[in-house]
Structure 1
Amino acid sequence: MQDQTTRYLRVNAVAERYDISKATIYRAIKAGKIDALLIGKSLRIPEYALRAFEEAAAEDAYTALKAMGHNASAADLDTDETAEVA
């Protein structure tokens, strides 16, 4: 059961929070990577869904690094350097 104080964010706010495009957020929602609610004609994303998304993204990044032969632990990852992919 979720806390009664859960905030619900617009797609634009989530995109700004992660410094990525709104299209990326919509793709993540469509792929089931971020839970969202349709309220009227507007999508809203609960903050708890973002925490789950962040945890899954961190696990995916760690798995990808291990597959490439890196021995870094998740705590060793520098999010500023790993966040941008060419």
Structure 2
Amino acid sequence: MYRVKAVAGALDVSVNTIYRAIESGELAALKLGTGKGTLRISGEALNAYVEKCSQAAYEAFVTGNESAIEAADNTQGAQVGEVA
């Protein structure tokens, strides 16, 4: 299980980018605790997110079609875990 800050650092993106991915359902996260709680991201969820982003970027590069990225975003709707 990874903290949001650790995932952001590993992917070289901002913490806000990771929170947006979680809120949109692109990246599965578990909320631990009550109230505000804390978010944790499993290794499996992180691998799936990176693979999806890589595939979308590759397809956009090869085909020159930016809509491949949008299509990948729409296929990630059913993730396991509770999102804050």
Match of 1:44 in 2: 40
Amino acid at match of 2:39: L
CA distance in structure 2 between the partners assigned to 1:17 and 1:62 by the alignment: 20
Task: List runs of 5+ in structure 2 lacking aligned partners.
Answer: 66-84
CA apart distance, 1:66: 2.4
Shift of 1:33: 1.0
Q: Could you say which structure has the larger radius of gyration?
A: 1
Whole-Å Cα distance in 1 between the matches of residues 23 and 63 of structure 2? Answer: 26
User: Given the alignment of the two structures, is residue 16 of structure 1 paired with residue 12 of structure 2, yes or no?
Assistant: no
For 1:68, the equivalent position in structure 2 comes to: 64
Give the structure-2-normalised TM-score. Answer: 0.69
- Provide the aligned length of Structure 1 versus Structure 2: 62
Give the whole-Å Cα distance in 2 for the aligned partners of 1:54 and 1:21.
Answer: 15
Question: Structure 1 residue runs of 4+, over 4 Å off?
Answer: none
Output the TM-score relative to the length of structure 1. Answer: 0.67
Letter in 2 for 1:18: L
In structure 1, what is the Cα distance between the partners aligned to 2:12 and 2:58?
A: 21
Identity value in percent: 44
Deviations 1:35-86 (A, max 9, x none): 00000100000011011011101110011112328xxxxxxxxxxxxxxxxx
Q: Determine the structure 1 residue equivalent to 2:25.
A: 32
- SS of aligned partner of 1:34: coil
The CA RMSD measured in Å over matched residues stands at 1.3
